[in-house]
Amino acid sequence: MTSNETLLSDAEIFAATKNCIEAWNTLDLENTLATYTDDVVYQDPGTQGQIHGKADLRRYLTKFLQKWDMRFRVIEDRRIVGADAQVCLWEVDIRLRDGSGAMITQPGMDIIHVRGGQLSRDEAFMDRLPMMQQLI
Protein backbone atom coordinates (compact mmCIF):
# COMPACT_ATOMS: atom_id res chain seq x y z
CA MET A 1 0.00 0.00 0.00
CA THR A 2 1.35 3.41 -0.94
CA SER A 3 0.99 6.50 1.21
CA ASN A 4 -1.67 7.84 -1.21
CA GLU A 5 -4.01 4.87 -0.73
CA THR A 6 -6.78 4.95 1.84
CA LEU A 7 -7.41 1.92 4.01
CA LEU A 8 -10.79 0.26 3.88
CA SER A 9 -13.10 0.80 6.83
CA ASP A 10 -13.65 -1.91 9.42
CA ALA A 11 -17.19 -2.28 8.09
CA GLU A 12 -15.95 -2.89 4.53
CA ILE A 13 -13.47 -5.53 5.66
CA PHE A 14 -15.92 -7.28 7.97
CA ALA A 15 -18.62 -7.21 5.25
CA ALA A 16 -16.32 -8.94 2.74
CA THR A 17 -15.58 -11.65 5.30
CA LYS A 18 -19.27 -12.00 6.20
CA ASN A 19 -20.15 -12.43 2.51
CA CYS A 20 -17.49 -15.10 2.15
CA ILE A 21 -18.66 -17.04 5.21
CA GLU A 22 -22.28 -16.84 4.04
CA ALA A 23 -21.17 -18.22 0.65
CA TRP A 24 -19.26 -21.09 2.30
CA ASN A 25 -22.40 -21.90 4.29
CA THR A 26 -24.37 -22.41 1.04
CA LEU A 27 -21.87 -25.14 0.01
CA ASP A 28 -22.15 -23.63 -3.49
CA LEU A 29 -18.83 -23.57 -5.32
CA GLU A 30 -19.60 -20.59 -7.57
CA ASN A 31 -21.01 -18.47 -4.73
CA THR A 32 -17.93 -19.21 -2.64
CA LEU A 33 -15.43 -18.52 -5.44
CA ALA A 34 -17.15 -15.20 -6.21
CA THR A 35 -16.00 -13.88 -2.83
CA TYR A 36 -12.29 -14.29 -3.74
CA THR A 37 -10.09 -12.22 -6.07
CA ASP A 38 -8.71 -13.88 -9.22
CA ASP A 39 -5.19 -13.77 -7.72
CA VAL A 40 -6.20 -15.01 -4.27
CA VAL A 41 -3.69 -16.70 -1.99
CA TYR A 42 -5.52 -19.36 0.02
CA GLN A 43 -4.31 -21.80 2.63
CA ASP A 44 -5.94 -24.11 5.15
CA PRO A 45 -4.66 -27.18 7.00
CA GLY A 46 -5.76 -29.41 4.13
CA THR A 47 -4.02 -27.58 1.29
CA GLN A 48 -0.48 -28.65 2.18
CA GLY A 49 0.82 -25.21 1.28
CA GLN A 50 -0.56 -22.14 -0.42
CA ILE A 51 -3.00 -22.15 -3.32
CA HIS A 52 -2.40 -19.31 -5.80
CA GLY A 53 -5.24 -18.07 -7.96
CA LYS A 54 -8.92 -18.76 -8.33
CA ALA A 55 -8.44 -21.61 -10.84
CA ASP A 56 -6.41 -23.65 -8.34
CA LEU A 57 -8.79 -22.70 -5.54
CA ARG A 58 -11.66 -24.01 -7.70
CA ARG A 59 -9.94 -27.41 -8.01
CA TYR A 60 -9.39 -27.63 -4.26
CA LEU A 61 -12.86 -26.44 -3.23
CA THR A 62 -14.62 -28.71 -5.73
CA LYS A 63 -13.29 -31.76 -3.90
CA PHE A 64 -13.66 -30.22 -0.43
CA LEU A 65 -17.27 -29.11 -0.87
CA GLN A 66 -18.25 -32.49 -2.33
CA LYS A 67 -16.97 -34.25 0.79
CA TRP A 68 -17.94 -31.97 3.71
CA ASP A 69 -21.18 -30.41 4.95
CA MET A 70 -20.49 -27.40 7.17
CA ARG A 71 -21.91 -24.30 8.79
CA PHE A 72 -19.64 -21.50 10.05
CA ARG A 73 -20.41 -18.99 12.81
CA VAL A 74 -18.28 -15.92 13.42
CA ILE A 75 -17.29 -15.61 17.07
CA GLU A 76 -15.16 -12.47 16.84
CA ASP A 77 -13.75 -10.08 14.22
CA ARG A 78 -10.58 -8.07 14.84
CA ARG A 79 -9.07 -5.53 12.48
CA ILE A 80 -5.36 -5.76 11.72
CA VAL A 81 -4.13 -2.18 12.17
CA GLY A 82 -2.51 -0.56 9.15
CA ALA A 83 -3.76 -3.12 6.64
CA ASP A 84 -6.94 -4.02 4.77
CA ALA A 85 -7.04 -7.16 6.86
CA GLN A 86 -8.58 -8.84 9.85
CA VAL A 87 -8.46 -11.88 12.08
CA CYS A 88 -11.74 -13.79 12.21
CA LEU A 89 -12.39 -16.31 14.99
CA TRP A 90 -15.10 -18.84 14.16
CA GLU A 91 -16.70 -22.18 14.91
CA VAL A 92 -17.82 -24.67 12.31
CA ASP A 93 -20.25 -27.55 12.58
CA ILE A 94 -18.95 -30.12 10.11
CA ARG A 95 -19.70 -33.66 8.98
CA LEU A 96 -19.30 -35.81 5.93
CA ARG A 97 -21.85 -34.94 3.22
CA ASP A 98 -22.86 -38.57 2.85
CA GLY A 99 -24.27 -38.40 6.40
CA SER A 100 -21.83 -40.90 7.84
CA GLY A 101 -19.93 -39.94 10.96
CA ALA A 102 -20.87 -37.55 13.68
CA MET A 103 -21.40 -33.80 13.44
CA ILE A 104 -18.46 -32.14 15.16
CA THR A 105 -17.99 -28.53 16.23
CA GLN A 106 -14.51 -27.21 15.64
CA PRO A 107 -13.03 -23.77 16.47
CA GLY A 108 -10.72 -22.00 14.06
CA MET A 109 -9.48 -18.67 12.80
CA ASP A 110 -8.63 -16.97 9.54
CA ILE A 111 -6.23 -14.18 8.70
CA ILE A 112 -7.92 -12.34 5.85
CA HIS A 113 -6.86 -9.59 3.46
CA VAL A 114 -9.50 -7.74 1.44
CA ARG A 115 -9.31 -5.95 -1.89
CA GLY A 116 -12.24 -4.60 -3.89
CA GLY A 117 -14.81 -6.22 -1.61
CA GLN A 118 -13.29 -9.69 -2.09
CA LEU A 119 -10.80 -11.76 -0.13
CA SER A 120 -7.33 -11.53 -1.69
CA ARG A 121 -5.66 -13.66 0.96
CA ASP A 122 -7.25 -16.20 3.30
CA GLU A 123 -5.19 -18.29 5.68
CA ALA A 124 -7.32 -20.63 7.82
CA PHE A 125 -6.12 -22.38 10.96
CA MET A 126 -7.85 -25.25 12.76
CA ASP A 127 -7.15 -28.70 14.13
CA ARG A 128 -8.12 -31.14 11.35
CA LEU A 129 -7.66 -34.29 13.43
CA PRO A 130 -11.35 -34.53 14.48
CA MET A 131 -12.35 -34.21 10.78
CA MET A 132 -9.87 -36.85 9.67
CA GLN A 133 -11.14 -39.24 12.33
CA GLN A 134 -14.50 -39.13 10.53
CA LEU A 135 -12.82 -40.78 7.53
CA ILE A 136 -11.65 -43.81 9.49
AA letter at 111: I
Q: How far is it, in rounded angstroms, from Cα 59 to Cα 64?
A: 9
What is the reported pLDDT for 136? 58
Q: What is the pLDDT of residue 23?
A: 98
CATH 3.10.20.740 fits 10-133, yes or no: no
Intervals of the chain under pLDDT 50 = 2
Predicted TM-score (pTM) of this structure:
0.91
Residue 72, pLDDT score = 97
Q: Which residues pair with 85 in a beta bridge?
A: 80, 113
| pLDDT at residue 102 in the model | 85
pLDDT value of residue 135: 66
